[in-house]
Structure 1
């Protein structure tokens, strides 16, 4: 072979379908229409692995399930946020007036407005809020984008340190380097790859096991810890649990799960889901086809299978979350776990 010919290395990526297991199915009129495969891991309240399916040690892009780590980093870098503002910093919110008020409050506290946000412009995800905005002559804005709380918190951290703000989403920016350090410390893993998330901020590839470990460490952290990292982690986790409406929206699945089960729930785009119970048991799921509903029902079922949730509570959570599949304007099936 000529020295000038190079064999290309395979692209870095997540686990392959051959290493995945069936986690959930979508059933329509008694017919299994879709089968959703993936990987998952459950950690007990002591942080030890109690259940694993598929390949939870391969890398995933955690997407919005990384937001609580980013919020810990922003607060650790000096962002002064009250509990509700802290909750919105972890949110994939619906863009209601209440959500937007929190985001504007963070920005106003540092003398900025929505024009400083580097997330894309969007319309509110909440239908009522979207229709009201359009009737009033409004238009898409970064402040309505579901990640605007995270971005506002990042700007607050930049303002506290005198860091530049026009480039705060650049992976080389001091803030993003700090976020990377926090993610590594909470997950116990070195970052293997950096990608660009849908909102424009960096997202770091970690394993599902590392993701679960990081969420578990937040769930079990104490605000009286001698270490600032864990004090901040406990503050972020408590703020989200105490204000579940802020991290998503009234009636939306993650908020419903938190209100029903009393723990923590956070989905990420493209089939990622994390949950922790009140006593710290934690699950992380990745569904290969990117179905977030499949990841959510799987997470609940896996916690029950591991004994971290009683089966009645899990069934109630799935019912309240509304996993029905419509046909002709009426329910004709549902997304259901198979684990």
Structure 2
């Protein structure tokens, strides 16, 4: 009999409930059913703290909100990506045929196929795409997994450098060491802890303040900067803004927010959300119970509170995003911000 799986030794954690504030509530038929607490930080275009709630200086695992930094690192390490490919390298895509085609092209251009991907097999998150795969006799595959674009970008960087591809998700791999360095340079702080993300790649613990700072830098740097790091960061931001469909998918919340608010929006698993407007206002949110919808709702409201978007625009965007509470298949309430 094999040994039971042992939990890793606890070496740290994020802020506690006592260091959190209420950010959003869900109402059902006029009754507040759930309350979502967490922390948030809004930075002004000049980098000043406009709104700080909870414990923004405590470490968090940014999950997929780390993807723009990882894309910057892949490009900086030599990955040759066009606009759509750059967007997919920073995406949590829905696995549509259009998404998958771009990822396959990323792999083919460096002489690889989807067997090189080390992200776990999955079915498309998009229901129509999932039905098409199953209807055609297909099965879960790594290329349908929402992080396959990020992984393809990493593989492209590995091929460019002659690095091994069979272990590119190992935290000791030169690519991941480079990613860690880029994260620290963009956020302005040292990584507090290294964990394994859901896709198998390393995820680096940073503070919510560092995350907001890094997203703001990605949104405000220039492609004419004398520094390659900032040129690459500006390229990632521009590609995401020009191809919002690639970041998530048509009708999906992050893409909807990007299209309606003309901004950058990227959620991460377990209650993390980042947004940035073209003027450089940036927000980062972490909801302790892991509810991404609540984090997204709070982030939009905080951008409006900071004056970066109008209240009407925020309300319209939230109505179009995933905030409706259903009962018997009909709307009976809504997730709403309280910040």
TM-score normalized by the length of structure 1: 0.97
- For residues 245 and 147 of structure 1, the distance between their equivalents in structure 2, rounded to whole angstroms, comes to 15
| Secondary structure class of the residue paired with 1:177 | helix
Structure 2 match to 1:3: none
Structure 1 match to 2:314: 314
Q: Kindly tell me: are residues 256 and 178 of structure 1, through their superposed partners in 2, closer, same or farther at Cα, counting changes over 3 Å?
A: same
Query: 1:114-167: CA deviations, max 9, x gaps?
Result: 100000000000000000111111110000000000000000000000000000
Structure 1 match to 2:229: 229
- For residues 141 and 309 of structure 2, the distance between their equivalents in structure 1, rounded to whole angstroms, comes to 40
| Secondary structure class of the residue paired with 2:52 | strand
Higher mean alpha-carbon deviation, 42-51 vs 242-251, is at: 42-51
| Secondary structure class of the residue paired with 1:205 | strand
Partners of 2:293 and 2:322 within 8 A in 1: no
Structure 1 match to 2:326: 326
- For residues 236 and 48 of structure 2, the distance between their equivalents in structure 1, rounded to whole angstroms, comes to 23
Q: CA deviation at 1:11?
A: 3.7
- For residues 19 and 66 of structure 1, the distance between their equivalents in structure 2, rounded to whole angstroms, comes to 23
- For residues 18 and 67 of structure 1, the distance between their equivalents in structure 2, rounded to whole angstroms, comes to 29
| 1:14 has 2:14 as partner | yes
Alignment RMSD (CA, Å): 0.9
Q: CA deviation at 1:322?
A: 3.9
Q: CA deviation at 1:12?
A: 0.4
Q: CA deviation at 1:47?
A: 1.5
| Secondary structure class of the residue paired with 1:245 | helix
Partners of 2:220 and 2:278 within 8 A in 1: no
- For residues 119 and 159 of structure 2, the distance between their equivalents in structure 1, rounded to whole angstroms, comes to 17
- For residues 278 and 225 of structure 2, the distance between their equivalents in structure 1, rounded to whole angstroms, comes to 19
- For residues 278 and 187 of structure 1, the distance between their equivalents in structure 2, rounded to whole angstroms, comes to 19
Query: 1:227-271: CA deviations, max 9, x gaps?
Result: 000000000000000000001000000000000011100000000
Runs of 4+ aligned residues of structure 1 deviating over 4 Å after TM superposition are none
Structure 2 match to 1:141: 141
Structure 1 match to 2:3: none
| 1:252 has 2:252 as partner | yes
Q: Which runs of 5+ in 1 are unaligned?
A: 1-8
Partners of 2:65 and 2:268 within 8 A in 1: yes
Q: CA deviation at 1:309?
A: 1.7
Query: 1:68-104: CA deviations, max 9, x gaps?
Result: 0000000000000000000000110000000000000
Q: Which runs of 5+ in 2 are unaligned?
A: 1-8
Structure 2 match to 1:5: none
Aligned residues: 331
- For residues 148 and 179 of structure 2, the distance between their equivalents in structure 1, rounded to whole angstroms, comes to 17
| 1:217 has 2:245 as partner | no
Structure 2 match to 1:152: 152
After the TM superposition, which residues 1-339 of structure 1 pair with which residues of structure 2 at under 5 Å, given as runs? Answer: 11-339=11-339
Q: CA deviation at 1:216?
A: 0.2
Q: CA deviation at 1:317?
A: 1.1
Q: CA deviation at 1:10?
A: 6.8
Partners of 2:285 and 2:299 within 8 A in 1: yes
- For residues 58 and 309 of structure 2, the distance between their equivalents in structure 1, rounded to whole angstroms, comes to 26
